[in-house]
Amino acid sequence: MCSSIVIPGTTLGAIRRIRTTSGAATGQLARQRPPQPVAWTEAEAIRLAQAGNAAAFEFLYRLHGRRVYALCLRMVGNPADAEDLMQEAFLQLYRKIGTFRGESAFSTWLHRMTVNVVLMRLRKKSLPTDSLEETLEPDSENSGPKRDVGAPDLRLSGAVDRVNLERSIEKLPPGYRTVFVLHDVQGYEHNEIADIMRCSVGNSKSQLHKARTRLRELLQEEIRDQAREERKAAKTQSGSLD
């Protein structure tokens, strides 16, 4: 939370520290961080937001914004789209906040809205290679990635890093991606995901397994491609030396 630049022993250091500390950033105090009541609970903030209180809107935004933004970012893979989607999700949330009765957790409600906004956007983009329906439909015999049972595989252990994992997540079909990000990255339980995605717990489990299996294939492809590139580069280098 605190990105302080401190020059010890100087007043100016203290000035800079105040200016760059997010909680009491005077540099942003009046415009970007309007006063927030410290002691609000989420329920109080929701009640006030339902009455149109601007500070309550911001309180809820600050409370959940980082998770929602991470979800959007992971789902679309680029910050500009993620910002747009996050704004859209919160806008929809605030438009409908008057109808929130607390039947499900507020965060679940918000995430459901976010997922819907993201999937709607992805559906509009309609990438020809990824069929959204394929991944959102309940399990069928032919859906999902396949594993050649018993066939020799390229082992991933030790080869999975953040970069190639993120790249592979982006290649997942949207439905798989959503469940994988919610469960394995954001730590939601299957019952919560089922609530967010409006599907059964079994379906959530199945989608997650398929997502992981598909990711494994994608990562194997990544690793093979990398190895191929390295070989090609080595060959070119040895050719130029000859």
Contacts of another protein in 162-201 (CB under 8 A): 162, 165-166, 180, 184-187
According to DSSP H, which parts of 21-53 are helical?
42-50
8 Å CB contact between 155 and 197: no
Q: Does 227 bind another protein (CB under 8 A)?
A: no
Distance in Å, CB of 129 to another protein, minimum:
21
Name which of 126 and 168 has its Cβ closer to another protein.
168
8 Å CB contact between 49 and 61: no
Distance in Å, CB of 127 to another protein, minimum:
22
Closest-CA residue to 222 (of 169, 173, 178): 169
Of 149, 237, 238, 240, which one interacts with another protein (CB under 8 A)?
149
Residues 58-97 within binding reach of another protein (CB under 8 A): 58, 61, 65-67, 69-70, 73-74, 83, 86-87, 90-91, 94-95
Name which of 26 and 236 has its Cβ closer to another protein.
26
Q: Near another protein by CB under 8 A, which window of 18-26, 103-111, 115-123, 128-136?
A: 18-26
Contacts of 221 (CB under 8 A, 6+ apart): none
Closest-CA residue to 183 (of 201, 161, 171, 170): 201
8 Å CB contact between 72 and 82: yes
Distance in Å, CB of 57 to another protein, minimum:
6
Q: Does 6 bind another protein (CB under 8 A)?
A: no
Distance in Å, CB of 81 to another protein, minimum:
12
Q: Does 55 bind another protein (CB under 8 A)?
A: yes
The CA distance from 171 to 208, in Å, is 15
Name which of 161 and 242 has its Cβ closer to another protein.
161
Distance in Å, CB of 66 to another protein, minimum:
4
| Per-residue tokens: 141 | 């015999």
How many residues bind another protein (CB under 8 A)? The answer is: 73
8 Å CB contact between 143 and 134: yes
Of 47, 104, 108, 160, which one interacts with another protein (CB under 8 A)?
160
Q: Does 216 bind another protein (CB under 8 A)?
A: yes
8 Å CB contact between 109 and 100: yes
Helix axes 106-125, 79-96, angle to 10 degrees: 130
